[in-house]
Structure 1
Amino acid sequence: MSQAGNLSQPVAGVYEELITQRMQVQMKQLSAAGWKTIDADVSEESSPHVIARHLSQAIAQRLEQVPHDQRVALANQIMASLAADTAAPPWPNTSDAVELIADGPRQLLAVAEQEAPGVYAVRPLTPLSETALITNSPEDPSLGSELRAELATADRIDLLCAFVKWYGLRVLEDSLRAAKERGVPIRVITTTYIGATDRHALDRLVRDFGAEVKVNYEIRSTRLHAKAWLFRRNSGFDTAYVGSSNLSKAALLDGLEWNVRLSSVATPAVLNKFEATFDAYWNDSAFEAYNPDDDGERLDQALSQAGVPAARRT
């Protein structure tokens, strides 16, 4: 395995790394030794992100090497060099200007309209700006506990889930009730696939938690097998989970499930695509609005039919 930024001991394979001056020399040496290297221009659109990623890695490595009490000063030296760059165009307005870091360092964790005991005290163990893999292992928080914490601070909630189970809903009921009391909009897209969804779980989502629910009644094919949550926040610190867990008790607490936690800070493009795709499904006629009073009997029939083995369907 090649060390990032170092081709002195090359390993054949695919790469995606910004070419440094040292690497440029090493690539010429590899070519002279009979190796073939392939490179391409970074597009104008991508270059800010590609260069920023390289800078981020270099700065993080350097910050790890200096004592804790010197890190803010080093970071501010770097920030000041950006502000002093005479070759760059001037900042268009003061809000875009480079901001130096205050002593500490400290992070802003919440802004409340009024002081209240315990306001925003419940937070996911995974920082809002980071990504993570949640596996329900004993050493990590369960998906259920993280979802309860996410629900506590969300301003909008979207759930895309093939199966919605009664006991899975029970795991989250207190958090969902609190979200309803705060007036948080909740949208749920689910299916009748293999008859696994519990009707009374959907009824409760609508009646008790004020959710808008849409159902795909298609039973001839999977149609929708995704499991994903999106938590939008007015502060801009949105998060999402995409993985294997349906809304069932085992999947949320102790099942052998894998779910990736995403962040608008770390993975903004993925979250934007999530929202756009969810909205496309929501507006697709294949997903029909569910009202327990009007559609309950139809849902019962569809779930019963979907639970019949394909060979026995008429």
Structure 2
Amino acid sequence: MDELYQGLYDLLATEDLHQQVDDTLLEATFEKISEANLPERLATAVAEHLLARLKDIKATKTSKKAEEQLAWVNQLLASLQQPPMPGNIIQFEPQALRSLHPKGLKPELPTIGLAQPWLFTAGKDSPALLHELQAELNSCNHVDILVSFITVSGVRKLLDRLKAITATDGQGRSQASVRVLTTTYTGATDQKALNQLAELPNCEVRVSLDGRRTRLHAKAWLFERDTGFGSAYVGSANFSGAALMGGLEWTVKFTQHGQPDLVGRAI
């Protein structure tokens, strides 16, 4: 790595790192990595080396850069599998499975996939938070909505989607269940908005009435899917029209596939 400076680090120790530390003439603090965290730390280290190696691979006279990268990865995968498992070879052109659905009923997909994290800032280069929540609702099997307040303008933006996913069939089953937790803090929550949500089937609404003491200030949307590809949105946006329609809000998305520990803590 580059030159070490005085300050805090969180680096996996290697022989080269120990030598660099010795060269600084500074005192170092090392901490043993627990067995529980070791697999993740080792996997991260391997991933960093793999990424650097893939970026260094260049095209040849007979194949494109992507083809060379895929060939190298498939060779690496084959070397890790004993015995080799041909079914794990990545195909060219590389593709990602995004959904399984009845013929002719392709769902609306979130612009940001279900594996990578994202920070929504309401900037021009960021998808609209409202669109992403709509797409997430379309394909979830359960959603928890945790906000400080809810307004009619906010519910109006998503009510059709919520009605669609909670609608019951002849056996009383629906695509998704919904739980809502909000507060009366500052008196901003609209009673009409709560009534609209409470009237939905398979939707449970709870309100914290102790606004002065509890002061629930979290804002989160937690989406669960039977596929195991859940996602969570945590940030500053309440369930209001202004927040969902481009207010100056920051919201972080993390995913069950990419950041399972974070989703586990949230859910």
Same fold (TM > 0.5): yes
**CA contact 1:82–1:98 (8 Å) conserved in 2:** no
Partner of 1:14: 8
- Partner of residue 119 from structure 1, selected from 99, 106, 112: 106
Partner SS, residue 149 of structure 2: coil
Corresponding residue for 1:194? Answer: 186
Distance, in Å, in 2 between the alignment partners of 1:35 and 1:169 is 57
Correspondence for 1:105 among 80, 94, 98: 94
1:67-106 alpha-carbon deviations (Å, 9 max, x no partner): 111121111222222225xxxxx99xx9xx9933233221
Cα distance in 1 between the residues matched to 2:66 and 2:106: 30
Aligned to 1:204: 196
Offset, 1:56? 1.0
Corresponding position of 1:246: 238
Residue identity opposite 1:178 in structure 2: A
Task: Summarize the alignment of residues 1-314 of structure 1 with structure 2, pairs less than 5 Å apart.
Answer: 6-7=1-2, 9-30=3-24, 34-66=25-57, 67-84=65-82, 99-112=88-101, 114-115=102-103, 117-120=104-107, 122-181=108-167, 182-208=174-200, 210-275=202-267
Q: Tell me, yes or no, if the aligned pair for 1:156 and 1:232 is still in contact at 8 Å.
A: yes
Offset at 1:124?
1.0
- Contact in 2 for aligned 1:83/1:98 (Cα 8 Å): no
Q: CA deviation at 1:109?
A: 1.4
Residue by residue over 1:254-313, the C-alpha shift from the partner in whole angstroms, topping out at 9 and shown as x without a partner, is 1110110010112111111111xxxxxxxxxxxxxxxxxxxxxxxxxxxxxxxxxxxxxx
- CA distance in structure 2 between the aligned counterparts of 1:68 and 1:24, rounded to whole angstroms: 36
In the alignment of these two chains, the number of paired residues is: 254
Q: TM-score, normalised by structure 2?
A: 0.89
CA distance in 1, matches of 2:118, 2:87: 29
Runs of 4+ in 1 over 4 A off after TM superposition: none
- Aligned-pair CA distance for 1:60: 1.5
Percent of residue pairs identical: 34
Are 2:4 and 2:20, in contact at CA under 8 Å, matched by a contact in 1?
no
Residue 240 of structure 1 aligns to a residue in which SS?
Answer: strand
CA distance in 1 between partners of 2:66 and 2:254 (Å): 28
SS at match of 1:176: helix
TM-score by length of 1: 0.76
Using a 3 Å threshold, how does the CA distance of structure 1 residues 98 and 268 change in structure 2: closer, same or farther? farther
* Matched AA of 2:75: Q
Separation in 2 of the partners of 1:98 and 1:235?
21
SS of alignment partner, residue 220 of structure 1: coil
RMSD over aligned Cα, in angstroms?
Answer: 2.1
Q: For residues 215 and 81 of structure 1, what CA distance do their matches in structure 2 show?
A: 56
- Contact kept? 1:72, 1:104, Cα under 8 Å: no
Rg (Cα) greater in structure:
1
SS of equivalent residue, structure 2 residue 116: coil
Alignment gaps of 5+ in structure 2: 58-64, 168-173
Which residue is 1:288 aligned to? none
1:148 aligns to what SS in structure 2?
helix
Q: Deviations over 1:183-239 (max 9, x none)?
A: 310000111111110011010011146421011110322431110000001110000
Alignment partners' CA distance in 1, 2:44 and 2:50 = 10
Tell me the secondary structure at the aligned position of residue 119 of structure 1: coil
User: Does the aligned pair in 2 maintain the 1:158–1:231 contact within 8 Å?
Assistant: yes
